[in-house]
Amino acid sequence: MHEFKTGREFVGRLPHGADLLEAITAQCRARDIRMARISAIGALTQARVGYYEQDAKKYQELDFPGHCEILALIGNVSVRDGAPAVHAHVTLADDAGKAFGGHLVAGCRIFACELVITELTGDPLARGFDETTGLPLWSED
């Protein structure tokens, strides 16, 4: 585990029609946020999430073409290939209140979204390829 201090905090609305992952990433890169925790709520006009197949070591992408609520988006920002990278998971709900979700990937179209970014100051964690899982993870130390 690594110790960080809370830095700047940003709260705001993301643009209607934008891609959710791209919009969060753009907000972080515009402010040179290299380490943060993030959370958001809102709604999407369409959703796509990832599910990691642990045996095959690859992501399967699931499409949800209907409108849905973002019940909770939670995630972090750290450095990957020298640039701030967002890793987030979303819990979504359909028009019957049924929840589903997964790893946030490109393909979620914003209807409305309120984002909170809490910057963490200190040496940012960097992601590197992890042989065991096949994922770009932080080191274990």
Q: Which residues contribute to the site for Zn ion (CB under 5 A)?
A: 103
Residue 90 beta carbon to Zn ion: minimum distance, rounded to whole angstroms: 10
Contact 107, 47 (CB under 8 A): yes
Residue 102 beta carbon to Zn ion: minimum distance, rounded to whole angstroms: 8
For residue 139, how many other CB atoms are within 10 A of its CB?
Answer: 10
DSSP string, 39-107: EEEEEEEEEEEEEEETTTTEEEEEEE-S-EEEEEEEEEEEEETTEEEEEEEEEEE-TT--EEEEEE-S-
Q: Which is nearer to Zn ion, 103 or 127 (CB)?
A: 103
Q: Which is nearer to Zn ion, 89 or 109 (CB)?
A: 89
Residue 91 beta carbon to Zn ion: minimum distance, rounded to whole angstroms: 13
The span from the CA of 101 to the CA of 105, in Å, is: 11
Q: Which is nearer to Zn ion, 35 or 105 (CB)?
A: 105
Q: Which is nearer to Zn ion, 67 or 103 (CB)?
A: 103
CA distances from 79 to 50, 87, 127, 130 (A): 20, 10, 6, 15
Residue 110 beta carbon to Zn ion: minimum distance, rounded to whole angstroms: 19
